[in-house]
Chain A
Amino acid sequence: MVTVASQQSQYLDRASSSALVDVVDLILDKGLVIDVYVRVSLVGIEILTIDARIVVASVDTYLRFAEATNRLDLARSGTETKGLPGLMDEIQEGGGRKKTKGALEGVKDTVSDLLQGDDEADESDDEAGEREEARRGESGDRPRHRRSSSRERER
């Protein structure tokens, strides 16, 4: 393996995840936009953007928290339920396409939107990972329209 073994961790999740949400959070809108610093002719190449949005209206969130608090079984303890119902529903991966000049500027807004949903999304990393795997079989040059979410059932 290429990676240096990390020290064993009992209380932290150290798994290097390849879940899309992790990667998007880490790299998109990050890194050097080189033609800001360096005179270089970049080749324009079409970039598919991940049009991911999460809309958490405050009233909706209050209602969901109230619901979550209400269904807490106080006699029971320590069992974690799934995250707030429905919060993931709004994350949608669309197929925004942008012609950029090399460096990816176009995704700024959509990415910051996605980051807001990051914590919920973490929870479904495994599912997301599997879905991505499944979709990889599709032709790579089409925008992605759907993100089937197992959470939709919770609605």
Chain B
Amino acid sequence: MAEDGRGCYVYGVVPDDRSDDAVKDLGAVGDPDAAVTLVLHGGQAAVVSEVPLDKPLGTPEDLRAHARVLDSLAAKSSPVLPFRFGTVVRDTTAVTGELLREGHDDFARALDRLRGRSQFTLRARYVQDVVLREVLTEQPEAVRLREELQGLPEEAGYDQRIQLGQLVMDAIAAKRALDVLEVDRRLGPCVLASISTEPSSAEGLVNASFLVEDDRRTAFEQAAEELGKRWDGRVKIRLLGPLAPYDFVADAMSPAKDPAEEGD
């Protein structure tokens, strides 16, 4: 492939009993017409497609194609080991001769640890007006500043506006700290592992990924649903998944760590 300016894009690795039905027509990274196929070796399969080497990768469609292939596999069954976007080897000979041969034991360990497990990603953010009303109800000082400002021209009230904004943001941060505990309390018992990133945006509540065992999936989804019900109208929650375990695969590959701290 390399000779004619094409390489072999590698999405990830799955066990070799998977079929390519779920992915072959999905549209490949770098070339929507290329077929996504499985290259088998030693009980494992690399998910690959041909990719032109003379064209940079990274268009929105490329990124979507990468995720679509991996998530479609994850939706059918686990385990899936997702590779980082942009992983390209010379050709399918390099896949079998180098990648799958050299990596066999590490991939086997990671596949074993992630069998029957997939990732869910939850993003929650406050509904702005609703949370602001809460703050005004709970913080007399905010009400006072707001009333003071309403009689002032824009320039005159600068300090008060800064003060009001800071007070409101602090109050939201305090709510967030409590609400994050509630998320943990409800979802924690249903998951093997979780990773969250601090939402530094003003209205963000939580941005977290969870590793969920297949037989706990319904319980997890119900717990998330109950959380959504409890906060209906106040917090918008998006739940993505099942996904390929993007946030947990590195730990699963590591000889020492296991994302679920069990399973070896």
Contact = CB atoms under 8 A, between A and B. Distances in A.
Interface string B1-18: 010000110101000000
Contacts of A37: 103, 106, 253
Given A10-B225, A37-B253, A141-B55, A23 B64 contact: yes
Interface stretch (B186-194, B237-245, B256-264): B237-245
Contacts of A63: 161-162, 165
B22 interface: yes
Interface in A1-54: 2-4, 6-7, 9-18, 20, 22-34, 37-43, 45-50, 54
Contacts of B164: 62, 65-66, 69-70
B88 A102 contact: yes
B71 A30 contact: no
Interface of A: 2-4, 6-7, 9-18, 20, 22-34, 37-43, 45-50, 54, 56, 59, 61-70, 72, 74, 77-81, 83-84, 87, 97, 100, 102-104, 115-120, 122, 132, 135-136, 140-141
Interface of B: 2, 7-8, 10, 12, 21-23, 26, 51, 53, 55-61, 63-64, 66-68, 70-72, 75-76, 81-90, 94, 98-99, 102-103, 106, 121, 123, 125, 127-130, 132-133, 135-136, 142, 146, 149-150, 160-162, 164-166, 168-169, 197, 199-204, 207, 218, 221, 224-225, 227-229, 232-233, 236-240, 242-244, 246-247, 249-250, 253
